[in-house]
Amino acid sequence: MDATAEIRALLKAFLDGYVARDVSRVDSFMELFDPGAEVIGTNGSRPGDGEWYLDRKGARELVEGDWEDWGDLGFDPEATRIRILGRTALVSIAATVTKRIGEENYQSYLEYVKDYIDLPDISAKQKLHNILRGGTNTVFELNRGEKFVWPLRITAAATQGGDGSWRFAQMCFSFSTIYFPDVRIIE
C-alpha cells in the first residue's frame, strides 16, 4: 500500500472512532496517536492550557469529552488533502460537527448563569456582559432551528515509525468564524 493510501486508512480509523463514540474503546483509539502527540482542540489557546494537550495521555481527555458530549463528526477521508514528505504526512480536512439542540438549552443556559454568577475574581460588569452575550446567542441560535451544523477544519501531521506504521504526531481542530473570535486577550 502506498503512503497516501496508508494515511487514508489512518483517517478512516480516526473517523470510525468518532462515529462510534464508544468510550470503552478510547484507549485503543488513542493508539492512532504518537505518545508525544500534540493535540489542540477548539478551546486551546496556549500550550498545556485548556484544550491544548502536549501528549497522547492528555489528548485522551479531549477525545473522551468529544465522544461523550460533542456532536457527530463527519468528513470524507477520500476528499481530504494529503501531502507526503518522506516519512511525514501533512493533512487538511474539511469536516462538520452536527448536533441537535432543542428548547432544553434555555434551561441549560440558565443553570450555567447560576454557576457563573458565583465565580470569584470576575467583575460584576464582566459577568453581566458575558451573560447578556451568551443569552442573546442562545436565543438567536435556537430561533434558527434545532439542527446545528458547524463547519470544522482539522489539520494534522502524521509520521511513519520504524515499523512502517503511521501515527498522528500533531492535530488541530478549529472552527471558522466571520465575526470577532470568541476568545480575546485583553491588554
* pLDDT tens digits in sequence order for the chain, 187 residues long: 799 999 999 999 999 999 999 999 999 999 999 999 999 999 999 999 999 999 999 999 999 999 999 999 999 988 899 999 999 999 999 999 999 999 899 999 999 999 999 999 999 999 999 999 999 999 999 999 999 999 999 999 999 999 999 999 999 999 988 877 877 777 7
Helices (H), the chain: 3-20, 26-29, 56-69, 104-117, 124-143
State the first-to-last Cα distance of the chain, in angstroms, to the nearest integer.
52
